[in-house]
Homo-oligomer: A and B are copies of this chain.
């Protein structure tokens, strides 16, 4: 897969990720390690909560979103996260859900402190197999420019 540089992006461009199937085992394993709360850990307990079944930690959804994003954009030498805003989880992620991410490039500017890099502002929207939005976020990341600075 071709590696992408700052110059390869266009403001307003939208990119669609591949798919990720969320399993009950993964939901529970992530929760045990990072978010040990009853509605993420145990399907029987979760049935008695307001969600009615086991749901994934929001941080698990965020991590899956990162994986789909990284695979889709494939920046040369990676993308260095500067910050995230407006991270929301409007619907729960459950076992068997199939997630995908649409990335919109919101803004592009050169980095003043690192002339070898540009700063990308983007918005990621994560949806399930029914098209329901399970996560939205805005982010900024530092990505490498082509050494010749030429747009191809």
**A-to-B contact residues, CB < 8 Å:** 30, 33-40, 49-50, 57-59, 62-64, 66-67, 70-71, 77-89, 114
Q: Which B residues touch A114, using CB under 8 A?
A: 50
Q: Which B residues touch A80, using CB under 8 A?
A: 39, 50
A3 to chain B, nearest CB (A): 11
- Other than the given A35-B67, A50-B80, 7 more pairs (CB < 8 A) read A30-B63, A33-B67, A34-B67, A83-B86, A84-B87, A85-B85, A85-B86
Enumerate 12 A-B pairs (CB-CB under 8 Å) in ascending A order. Answer: A34-B64, A36-B70, A39-B78, A40-B78, A58-B81, A58-B84, A59-B59, A59-B62, A59-B63, A62-B62, A85-B85, A87-B87
The complex places the Cα of A143 from the Cα of B83 at a distance, in Å, of: 26
- Residue of B at shortest CB range from A89? B81
The complex places the Cα of A85 from the Cα of B138 at a distance, in Å, of: 10
